[in-house]
Amino acid sequence: MESSTNSARRSEDIALDLLKFIATTAGVGRPAVGSTGFTTPSANKADDQVAHLLELYTRCLEAVEGKSGR
């Protein structure tokens, strides 16, 4: 039973590392930077960014576990 727990935890760790890599590379979760005195009208709210990161994590976990959600 412990081995299945370890493999599940390992998949979660790998998915989290994948999420970090993708988010860093694509700039996901960073606030949009506007020019001086202006803000971008399409800047995401924090809740939207969190929802996107959670969705991305779910997709990363499915990819690591070999599940095809799409």
What pTM was estimated for this model as a whole?
0.65
* Mean per-residue pLDDT over the chain, rounded: 79
Q: Alpha-carbon distance 46 to 68, whole Å? A: 28
Average pLDDT over residues 12-30: 88
Residue 58 has pLDDT above 80, yes or no: yes
Beta strands in 1-70 (DSSP E): none
Residue 36 has pLDDT above 70, yes or no: no
pLDDT category, 49, cuts 50, 70, 90?
confident
Contacts with 52 (C-beta within 8 Å, 6 or more apart), sequence order: 28, 29, 44
Which among 19, 48, 15, 14 is positioned nearest to 31, based on CA atoms? 48
Q: Alpha-carbon distance 31 to 20, whole Å? A: 16
